[in-house]
Structure 1
Amino acid sequence: MLAGCAVLTAGLLAFHRAVPNSVGRVGSLLEVFLPWLGLVIVLLFGLALLRRSAVALVALLLPAAVWTYLFGGLLLPDAGAGPRDLVVVQHNVSDENTDPAGTARALSGARPDLIALQEVVPPALAVYEKTLAADYPYHAVLGTVGLWSKHPLTGVRPLDIKPRGITESWNRGLRAVAGTPHGEAAVLVAHLPSVRVGAGGLASSRRDESAGLLGEAVAAEPLETVILLGDLNGTADDRGLAPLTSRMGVAERGFALSFPAALPVARIDQVMARSATVAHIRTLPATGSDHLPVAARVTLR
């Protein structure tokens, strides 16, 4: 029994893409929590020791090896900053945040080059602008997403990532060019639609459609270097974000679970890059949001 569970766990880890999404998007739901199968391995290991089952202990080497292959690199320490690094911060600040000034100070305290925010709404917008102005003289806000930068921003325009069926005003994406000391980089800021888990499984069709539109924007971007900062409402393993993860690299080090802030179980706040490396990602202390901010070190090529 324990050996069979070990083999099943290894199969889910290694072949999660084979789990169908046709009913309730079960495959995507599995992929959201895929790293947590490591706890299943630990539980099975404990049971195998209690039962003194040598067969189960040997069988557990299989899922342990697969988990290590998939996620072990994320546990390695940060290699340290390099001369071509940018520090970026991504945060859904929440439209119910009662302390926007404190949130802005907390984010700037990480001394990033770029700060991307989602759910930026009046009157909090004016507070973010005032609090960040001294250290971040360049910023752009379109709809409910914004970008603050230490480096000049040009070419600001909205990104059309609005899914079909949404009739109200909905502007949750922007593109700008940051003139960094190491050359120009296109910076995309996005907030994809929310997903819901219910009796019918994972409801993510609008998120998936918006991710597809964002992936098309990445593919069409003329600049070689692209940095994506966003609340993507999905993990890097979720196949719903494949239009992005197939075109961009994700963090090489760090788990940085960001949601929900009270008890984080998944990183849905993402930093991805093309022609650059997201070398490390980490969470910052909690703010007045239901998300934790994440800070990443991006190495430009």
Structure 2
Amino acid sequence: MLLHAEITDRGGLGSLVETFLPWFGLFIPVLLAGALWRRSAAAVVALLLPVVAWLSLFGGLLSDKSQPGGDLTVVSHNVNAENPDPAGTARDLAASGADLLALEEMTPQATAAYGKELAKTYPYHTVQGTVGLWSKLPLSDSRSVNVLRGNVGPLAKTRRAEDLPVDPPRALRTTVATDQGPLVVYVAHLGSVRLMPRHGFWTDSRDVGAVALAKAVAAEQNERVVVLGDMNGTTDDRAFDGLTSQLHSAQEAAGHGFGFSWPASFPTARIDQILVRGVEPKSSWVLPATDSDHLPVAASISW
């Protein structure tokens, strides 16, 4: 657990371990049972090492760090391209009271349904490809952000670039006008990860997107930045070092627990993120399930 950064990332092994790093703590009670079965005092004492290691990494997530108040509530949700009830999902999200609502993995047909259902609560919105932001506050300077950086993946190695499908934008940047000044918001859906027989834990597309998004944030002049979206990875994953060196996780700073968001049926990883710079997270939580395979994540932020 302590040396996870030293594990090779060949075949995505390092990323795979870091995605599920908290779950390595499950080995501790197994080892304890073995030590008790052997009646070995030395083994029981030796278990202090993995216990301390796990607590040093994740113990801070067990306490409730949320605080009352907040100037703005933000919600991010991968709504799932196969969502059977976009309108119902939109109603559930609007009922959360969010001031800013980021949606990822929208299809063209579903985008219209989300827009129609959210129009009354959110008079301002921007949609770029498969991602969108609905807001109670005015938006300006909205544009797509290229987190694809060409065709990345096993298919691209065997086919000509001009023969590959062109994906719609998967990230956007916009400026929200608040009483305290402008707030820059990014919404992103980074590339998927796959367990593939010949390629291992394939993360190339996601990793390229993470680097591109980190560069965009680094070039941002506004000191107040919020990044929302499905990153297809946890903040423990080394692929996000460029982002986590500039931004703080709202869940880690102001949440209670791990805030696992995927899969919705049995959440095992926090791959949906709310990352901030120049604002203070007051609380962070996970919303009830919708008809998506992800859970919505929310945070209250303050200036």
Whether TM exceeds 0.5 here: the answer is: yes
1:173 Cα offset (Å): 0.7
- Could you tell me which residue of structure 2 aligns to residue 269 of structure 1? 272
What is the aligned residue count?
286
Letter aligned with residue 168 of structure 2: W
- Could you tell me which residue of structure 2 aligns to residue 10 of structure 1? none
- Could you tell me which residue of structure 2 aligns to residue 201 of structure 1? 200
Of 61, 69, 83, which aligns to 1:74?
A: 61
Secondary structure (helix, strand or coil) at the match of 1:36 reads: helix
- Could you tell me which residue of structure 1 aligns to residue 112 of structure 2? 126
Q: Distance in 2 between matches of 1:280 and 1:16?
A: 29
**Is 1:19 aligned to residue 22 of structure 2?**
no
What 5-or-longer segments of structure 1 have no aligned partner? 1-12
Secondary structure (helix, strand or coil) at the match of 2:98 reads: coil
RMSD: 1.6
- Could you tell me which residue of structure 2 aligns to residue 110 of structure 1? 96
1:265 Cα offset (Å): 1.0
TM-score by length of 2: 0.90
Residue correspondence of structure 1 range 46-85 to structure 2 within 5 A: 46-82=33-69, 84-85=70-71
**Is 1:213 aligned to residue 212 of structure 2?**
yes
1:16 Cα offset (Å): 0.8
- Could you tell me which residue of structure 2 aligns to residue 37 of structure 1? 24
Q: Distance in 2 between matches of 1:43 and 1:109?
A: 43
- Answer with 29-38 or 198-207: which moved more: 198-207
1:181-202 CA distance string (max 9 Å, x none): 3321100000100001233421
Q: Distance in 2 between matches of 1:79 and 1:281?
A: 7
- Could you tell me which residue of structure 2 aligns to residue 3 of structure 1? none
Of 76, 82, 86, which aligns to 1:96?
A: 82
- Could you tell me which residue of structure 2 aligns to residue 288 of structure 1? 291
Cα 1:75–1:280 shift into 2, 3 Å: farther
1:160-210 CA distance string (max 9 Å, x none): 111322651330110011112332110000010000123342100111011
1:226-264 CA distance string (max 9 Å, x none): 000011111110111112112111132331111111111
Cα 1:235–1:48 shift into 2, 3 Å: same
Secondary structure (helix, strand or coil) at the match of 2:30 reads: helix
Q: Distance in 2 between matches of 1:112 and 1:50?
A: 52
* Percent of aligned pairs sharing the same letter: 49
Higher-RCO chain (CA-CA 8 Å, sequence separation at least 6) = 2
Secondary structure (helix, strand or coil) at the match of 1:91 reads: strand
1:279 Cα offset (Å): 4.4
Letter aligned with residue 186 of structure 1: V
Secondary structure (helix, strand or coil) at the match of 2:288 reads: coil
Q: Distance in 1 between matches of 2:188 and 2:282?
A: 21
TM-score by length of 1: 0.90
Q: Distance in 1 between matches of 2:302 and 2:44?
A: 41
Q: Distance in 2 between matches of 1:54 and 1:299?
A: 50
1:190–1:230 Cα contact (<8 Å) kept? yes
Residue correspondence of structure 1 range 133-282 to structure 2 within 5 A: 133-165=119-151, 167=164, 168-199=166-197, 200-250=199-249, 251=251, 252=253, 253=255, 254-282=257-285
1:249–1:277 Cα contact (<8 Å) kept? no
2:66–2:284 Cα contact (<8 Å) kept? no
